[in-house]
Amino acid sequence: MNVLVTGGLGFIGSHTCVELLNSGNDVIVIDDLSNAKIEVKDYIRKITGKGIIFYQGNVCDRKIMHKIFEENKIDATMHFAGFKAVGESVSKPLEYYDNNITSTLVLCEIMQEYNCKNLVFSSSATVYGDPEEVPINENSSLGPTTNPYGTTKLFIEQILKDLYISDNKWNITILRYFNPIGAHESGLIGENPNGIPNNLVPYIVMVANKELPFLYVYGDDYDTPDGTGIRDYIHVVDLARGHVSALKKLDKDNVGIETYNLGTGKGHSVLDIINAFEKANSIDIPYQINSRRPGDVAVYYANPQKAFKELGFKAEKNIDDMMKDSWNFIQTAKQTQE
Ligand code: WQD
């Protein structure tokens, strides 16, 4: 299939482009490079031996979106493009609502105009808010989320549901990610946040790389075995493969609109992750216990059964792989820059 990947040079988008190409698809990417580097295009070619068709721009720009659909026969779209920093979204709500929602509206309008109605949407487990119970399944109650970023995902899911109700020729799959971490084994692509990372694993990697002195552990007084927060960490390559599984189902069946959790079904605490990183890479990670981070919840992990039953998707990589690949990416990036 010819797949348009919005935000395709970003962390999850680029890994998905690799898996799409490796599965015999052709890939067209639009990315405004606001949170991605143009070199990623070359790394994707290096990894797969195949090129992508690249357009630099923002999905909100109708002109470039028309150009893409005029110049390419798009069979399906995977929509990753969007702002995704939870903390930043609290201080910049208008930018988040404008960019994340407008880009989705423009994309769907153009797709409709060109009669392309196969869409995979990158959503987030954040839409579950503070879960009543774990593991979380797709019918668990939604919201309220603790930040505008999460609310944009909630709003976009509703927009897509309304779009399907208006025209049931749409074939829409919503994928709710838990905590994507790790990097491709080549070390060429991975998570390269600008500035000081908000997320745990990129922060640990910077401490390991001596770019930060120590890690703050946000709270050790949660109702968990070691008192620190528990999350469902999934390797980004597994997550990318989950997208290919979703696309195959879209291509084979008329799914209508379906939602799937992409997680491992296993929870790991902050201290588990620190210990796993230290063990996998033989590097000490100094840390200090700090107070809880506002908006954090204690425990979050998926019930991954629906994706397994209906998409045949099951995460294969373990925490040790995630820790080794996260560190390998930074080491490779460092060597490339030297
Ligand atoms: C994980 C755990 C923290 C940093 C966020 C978004 C979510 C998704 C994934 C996009 C928590 C603890 C963290 C640190 C720490 N992103 N922590 N010290 O908050 O589960 O999810 O990223 O879709 O939408 O909400 O991920 O990595 O920030 O935190 O102790 O320096 O690590 O308290 O328990 P989170 P995270």
* ipTM of predicted complex: 0.97
Atom 34 in ligand 1: residue holding the nearest Cα: 229
Ligand 1: distance of its center to the CA of 47 in Å?
29
Q: What is the pLDDT of residues 203-239, one digit of tens each?
A: 999 999 999 999 999 999 999 999 999 999 999 999 9
CB under 6 Å to ligand 1: residues?
84, 86, 124, 126, 177, 179, 198-200, 203, 215-218, 229, 231, 270, 293, 296
Residue corresponding to tokens 């897509």? 160
Q: From residue 288, give the alpha-carbon distance in Å to each of 217, 230, 299.
A: 6, 17, 21
Share the mean pLDDT of the chain: 96
Q: What is the pLDDT of residues 38-91, one digit of tens each?
A: 999 999 999 999 999 999 999 999 999 999 999 999 999 999 999 998 888 999
Ligand 1: distance of its center to the CA of 200 in Å?
6
Q: Which residues are known to be catalytic?
A: 149
CA distance 132 to 8: 34
| Ligand 1 nearest-atom number relative to CA 150 | 24
Q: Is-contact 137 306, C-beta < 8 A?
A: yes
CA distance 297 to 130: 6
Pick from 297, 323, 305: nearest CA to 262 = 305
Atom 9 in ligand 1: residue holding the nearest Cα: 179
CA distance 261 to 265: 10
